[in-house]
Structure 1
């Protein structure tokens, strides 16, 4: 690695300013900068721009700054918008190829019931994210021991407690209280939420209640939607021609059994699940009208193309999402359905899929990189407020990722990062603190 931006934390106070320079800086919300710089103080970004302008501006203010240079690309930390870190120990399942959702689910369930150290596995997954340049994650957990992992690993994001397999009767009798208790166990730093697993794994009343539970607390929801083919629309008018919304059946599966052709997206929308405080994962089996519903409700979708490929599903309609202007993010899913937790592998896969689906815009690489950063932050509600992240701008949290990608020009650097950035992360910073570097040798720091 050339020039990893490593510094001695013991010599850095909250009032010190460090200027991180790179061959190419990609702010996401501003044009890329050759010879760019990002100045950091107290865990926040205080300047972004060309190196000369940043250093001169600081000098004019009487600020003596450290400078650390990286020969490569500096960008916001990646935001993994869908993962299950506790399944990191189930990597053997994700290394196979399956013939569809049911085939994969059988293999998953066989491994899931075996003894696992969910805490250790989740912590190992968190470290894998850090080594890949990821600074925030939407992590879905099913075991209480995995709950504190984000808090303890230093990652930002949200820990979502997954809710599934509740019938209406059991939910009203004891489920709701149990889930509220589990939610209250999640540390609010960095964030907490609930994940109703999917429309087909819960009856209607839990799906009605869960959004209210989190909204009353100002929290968020996240669910799998459009991942399995049976969630898509089908022909069928149901019972006596009545609109499905008017027939009081207990679940999505019951609706389908009664002959209604509505999609899973329509179903959860009718129950009030969707909204700007909710994001969904996968979004593979969705029609244009389903995707329009997501846009109308302000709901982002986290695309997980490598997971879909392993399970044997279709590729997500990324070209359509891009053309229609849908808010998209990117997730790795877990090692139980994906070869790695390196989000840049999914970035490269989405670029390839979009091209194969006919997307010809010159902005493809930049838009997919934006989905992996700002798009993920937006999906998790992390793009606004005092701790905003996902882009490099004054006042944002100093969540930074450095990549050893050669830069000849702005355009070539962005293409190289999007298509071949996997495995090239060289250092990761969260809130201005170095949390991982490929080269742990302290660099000589120049003072302005």
Structure 2
């Protein structure tokens, strides 16, 4: 019989069930086989437990970063800037991107930082093939999305599908791969439709930047505004939305007309959306990855987190990249979402639980990892043993939950499929 490992902590936050004081999680063959109080789990398993670890903190599901570009980790200098608009940040990003980079090393460093902050799964967008191995090599879960950018109808018809599929096939597996049609302003309408067709044909997930910039709406509706003028200035007046005077629809309805809003897709950012947009996303089963610290750096408005919560839209939490964010720590964005939710008038008592859910099970749902034979995102029997332990001081379980959400404590260990990928040097599980 394979060995059983038991992890005990002052507080266990299963996410799928209420917090547990003096809790334990038992792991066998990379899966969770028991969750409960330490006394109950120990009594049930008895001498079958071969290895024990006791953690002085809070044990939770591993975090899911629902939107990131780890390959841009060495572009942190851009992210340390302050920008008055999306367009201004984009110019700084492009200048930094054109400098020579070792994208493989940059992505590997981003993976390291992610693991050391308690992240066990990522929605990683890859723009350059050298960065495509980092998530695989580290043993993280998630989806590696190949970014599709800059295609217009005529060029796509000549070679688009063949090139994109070849780029996808070059990415290692696991984890699974997907497609990231970049945004409504960087791809022709017909290309969006074709990418959805390819995704359906090959069973791929889609991940799209949407409603991140205020000027996207004008671009989508009328083919005008700051983004439109910038793209015209770059010689792209022949793009379908620009040449045709827009679609007559806002960003979210436009994406629906091209067929990409499905339960197999999720959006990043979703800032500039109204109640009708959010209702449409719910109807289509589309999650939104919120990245509030990135939005602030770029000079954008805050995401309407209180509305998403009140209306019960499925949400995840993302860091975006260091080119627009201070860190790759998902809990830093959770803490900012907590602050924003209160500032926006959210008063329900479930705020802490809802935000931890977004950073774990909600992110797993966005990536298609919450269901199936090997789910992740919550501590339930049969789930992958993807676990993080955080350095909290609170004794009461509800206080520990609040501390995790509001204070973004450091991770003590990060466990994927039952195997510790990283443990803080000064803290080790005490074998009993």
User: TM over 0.5, yes or no?
Assistant: yes
Q: Which residue of 1 aligns with 2:103?
A: 118
**Alignment match, 2:240:** 251
1:268-289 CA-partner distances (Å, limit 9, x unpaired): 1001011000000000011111
Size of the alignment, in residue pairs? 418
Q: Secondary structure at the match of 1:135?
A: strand
| Deviation readout 1:326-346 (Å, 9 max, x if unpaired) | 000000000000000001100
Quote the residue 2:175 is aligned against: 190
User: CA separation in 2, counterparts of 1:234 and 1:15?
Assistant: 58
Deviations 1:211-251 (A, max 9, x none): 1212212120101001010223799799xxxxxxxxxx963
Pick one of 403, 428, 445 that aligns with 2:414. Answer: 428
**Judging changes above 3 Å, is the alpha-carbon distance between structure 1 residues 343 and 441 closer, same or farther for their aligned structure 2 residues?**
closer
Q: Is contact 2:54–2:430 with CA below 8 Å preserved after alignment?
A: no
| Cα deviation code 1:153-207 (max 9, x no counterpart) | 1111111010011110011011221111111112231110010000111001110
Residues 1:267 and 2:274 aligned together? no
Q: Does 1:390 align with 2:412?
A: no
**Of 41, 44, 50, which aligns to 1:57?**
44
Alpha-carbon distance in structure 2 between the residues aligned to 1:299 and 1:202: 20
Distance 2:253 2:360 in 1: 28
- Mapped to 2, the partners of 1:209 and 1:261 lie a distance apart of 21
Q: For 1:93, which of 62, 73, 78 is the aligned residue?
A: 78
Where does residue 354 of structure 1 map in the other structure?
Answer: 341
Q: Does 1:104 align with 2:89?
A: yes
Hey, what's the Cα distance between the residues in 2 that align with 1:149 and 1:64? 34
RMSD: 1.8
Q: Give matches, 1:204-219, under 5 Å.
A: 204-219=189-204
Q: CA deviation at 1:315?
A: 0.2
Residues 1:36 and 2:20 are matched in the alignment: no
For residue 226 of structure 2, what is the aligned residue in structure 1? none
Report deviation, 1:36. Answer: 0.5
2:164 alignment partner, one of 162, 172, 179:
179
Distance 1:283 1:410 in 2: 32
Q: How does 1:143-162 map to 2 (within 5 A)?
A: 143-162=128-147
Q: Is the 8 A contact 1:234 1:261 kept in 2?
A: no
How far apart, in 2, do the equivalents of 1:353 and 1:441 lie? 33
Q: Out of 318, 321, 324, which is 1:337 matched to? A: 324
Number of the residue aligned with 1:133: 118
CA-to-aligned-CA distance 1:255-312 (integer Å, 9 cap, x gap): 5x35x64211111100101100000000001111111111011000000000000000
Q: TM-score, length-normalised on structure 1? A: 0.90
Deviation at 1:149, TM superposition (A): 1.2
Q: Is the 8 A contact 2:220 2:254 kept in 1?
A: no
Moved over 6 A (4+): 233-238
> Which residue of the partner structure matches residue 74 of structure 1?
59
CA contact (8 A) 1:234 1:262 kept: no
Give 1:323 shift. Answer: 0.4
Unaligned runs of 5+ in 2: 224-237
Matched-pair contact (CA < 8 Å) for 2:153–2:188: yes
The Cα shift of 1:145 comes to 0.6
TM-score (norm 2): 0.94
- The offset of 1:438, in angstroms, is 0.8
Give me the whole-angstrom Cα distance separating, in 2, the residues matched to 1:386 and 1:421. Answer: 31
| 8 A contact 1:252–1:267 mirrored in 2 | no
